[in-house]
Chain A
Amino acid sequence: MILQTQGLCKTFGGVAAIAGIDFNLKQGELRCLIGANGAGKSTFFKMLTGQITPTSGRIVIKGQDVTGWPSFKIARLGVGIKTQVPSLFDGLTVSEHLHLSALRKVGARRAEEATCDMLAEMELEALADASVGTLAHGQRQWVELGMVLVGDPDIVLLDEPAAGMTQAELQTTISLLDKMRGRRTIIIVEHDMNFIRQIAETVTVFHRGRVLVEDTMDGISRNAEVREAYLGQKGLKDHG
């Protein structure tokens, strides 16, 4: 197990956002997390990256108990996150973003090369010197993803990577994920069922701060409890 949580809880002012989550992830797995708004997905990601300290429970990454660690230490362990709203350095250029991330991983001498490689891989060369503050939302998502990947994380957390992307960008994202499959361990939080159906291996459904089910996409689609909890009156098919 590359990532485990045991009895993870987080309460905000008496309300439990996360109410006891046991979560296990094998090396090289691609896991999708779904759940209605307020199910605790974002809070879960924030705890995995050290932005929020759990009220109780443990987080173990690569055999190390990282509960209560500051964000930068968890990042150094090899956890990269693409946040829901792209979190970027608005005054810096695209290549500076990638450089900054590569710098920590491979050092100043090889950062230049890694930056160029990633610019090519993400097809961002044309935007290399553009200030990130001027980019469109989809491009910003893309820059953030490139920045995370150039840091060569073992575990990649993607919070709604499909949001605001064009169909073409979506397809590129899917092929990028396919390339990473098996090499990196990936958790994706996503609402776009169509997207999930194309990439998912195992899907975990969060409901009110707990894990409701964990199954294959087909199993999830057939699960009555999931329909009830996540989709309300709407059927899965309406989303797909």
Chain B
Amino acid sequence: MRELKSPAFIATAIIGLIVILLAPHVLELNTVFNLTVYAIMAILALSLGLVWGMGGILSFGQTAFFGLGGYVYAVAALNFGDSTPALLVAIVIPIIFAAIVGYFAFFGRVSDVYFGVISLTMSLILFNLINSTSGSGYRIGNAPLGGYNGIPSVPPLNLPFDPANALDFEGMFLAAALILLAVYLGLRVFMKSSFGRIAVSVRENELRAELLGYDVRLYKLGTFCIGAGIAGLAGALYASWGSFIGPSAFSLSFAAQTIIWVLLGGLGTLIGPIIGCFIVQFVTMWLGETKFINPNIALGLLFLVSVMVLPKGLAPVAQRVVSTLQRRGTAS
């Protein structure tokens, strides 16, 4: 694991830790509260950055795993009374779901574009399904599914195996931000592993990878499942943060948002999706407060511009700016 020892990696880890630990002391509680949801969404963005950006899999319905994770967490936490096993099943169930969908798609050799459409469709079907579960008949143990009203009063995260000690706002921020940092660093290491390298090669040239003796279906399935687990984790954190999860997690507009995050930030990088996510969320929040323009108009324009003008996203542009500055710096 050379990546673990690289200076850039260690520096990122240390700076990340310092920023996260300092933030609650420096910032207002309200800002910390908002930053928590930014961090949670950034975890979701990372999952799509992995599956789409690194693995080349058009997972347009990545939010389905987020929503699934949120719902599974809500139901499990309401039934178990402890968030620790709930968090675990909220990761496992989306993985299983992804394994089933991915098995059909990848082993059936469905084309990549069809897969994109199918995965989005899957999310929309879940949207319809959950929407129609209103009424007392639809409940799992102690948890009513609530249809279009969603599940309110989802239990917050608690210290591991200690339900009496629920996390407060600050604790929730630390949990979300540290998990984001861990997922980001973990994925960096993962991308340098054999599996990660092969996953990227499958994105670059599927036939060649196959002719070298790699079963590309397995690598796609693996990447897809890992992404689903991360998205499920993000969904669980989201449900515990706002103590609510609703069917809008499966909606078309939310799916579109995650796509914009990754597209704007830059495909094929891990930091890009995080940056894109923060920018877009900030813009939508600002629009929501100022009512300057309908958020859908802004997002739609941003989306169109990203595709037509910035097909590689902001991250490569930023990298070019940085390297030009560096070159000028060394030249002068």
Contact = CB atoms under 8 A, between A and B. Distances in A.
A71 interface: yes
A91 interface: yes
A75 B208 CA distance: 11
B213 A92 contact: no
A116 to B, nearest CB: 15
Contact of A88 (B197, B205, B210, B216): B205
Given A100-B197, A103-B197, A75 B204 contact: no
Given A72-B216, A103-B194, A108-B194, A89 B201 contact: yes
Nearest to A103: B194
B211 A92 contact: no
A105 to B, nearest CB: 8
Contacts of B200: 89, 91-92
B103 to A, nearest CB: 15
Given A72-B216, A75-B213, A99-B197, A91 B208 contact: no
Interface string A101-115: 101110010000000
Contacts of A32: none
Given A96-B197, A99-B197, A108-B194, A71 B204 contact: no
Contacts of A147: 212
Contacts of A151: 212-213
Interface string A135-157: 00000000000010001000000
Contacts, number: 64
A80 B205 CA distance: 16
A166 to B, nearest CB: 24
B214 A104 contact: yes
B198 A103 contact: yes
B205 A90 contact: yes
A88 B211 contact: no
B207 interface: yes
Interface residues of A, number: 27
Interface in B176-214: 194, 197-198, 200-201, 204-205, 207-214
A219 to B, nearest CB: 33
Given A72-B210, A103-B198, A87 B216 contact: no
Contacts of A99: 197
Contacts of B197: 96, 99-100, 103
A83 B207 CA distance: 11
B212 A100 contact: yes
B215 interface: yes
A104 B214 CA distance: 8
A154 to B, nearest CB: 13
A90 B210 CA distance: 16
A90 B216 contact: no
Nearest to B215: A72
B201 A87 contact: no
B198 A100 contact: yes
Given A89-B201, A89-B204, A92-B201, A104 B211 contact: no
B313 to A, nearest CB: 15
Contacts of A104: 212-214
Contact of B208 (A70, A89, A105): A89
B201 A71 contact: no
Interface string A26-49: 000000000000000000000001
Contacts of A88: 205, 208
A33 B71 CA distance: 61
Contacts of A101: 212
Contacts of A70: 210, 215
Contacts of B213: 72, 75-76, 104-105, 151
Contacts of A89: 200-201, 204-205, 208-209
A147 B208 CA distance: 11
A103 B212 CA distance: 10
A71 B198 CA distance: 16
A80 B194 CA distance: 20
B211 A81 contact: yes
A104 B212 CA distance: 8
A223 B210 CA distance: 39
A51 interface: yes
A17 B215 CA distance: 28
Contacts of B268: 91
Contacts of B214: 72, 104
Contact of B212 (A51, A73, A75): A75
A90 B204 contact: yes
Sorted nearest first, the 5 A-B pairs with minimum C-beta distance are A75-B213, A89-B204, A71-B210, A76-B213, A87-B208
Given A70-B215, A75-B211, A88-B208, 4 more contacts: A75-B210, A75-B212, A87-B207, A91-B200
21 contacts: A70-B210, A71-B211, A72-B211, A72-B212, A73-B215, A75-B211, A76-B213, A83-B211, A87-B207, A87-B211, A88-B205, A88-B208, A89-B200, A90-B205, A91-B204, A92-B200, A92-B201, A92-B204, A103-B197, A108-B194, A151-B212
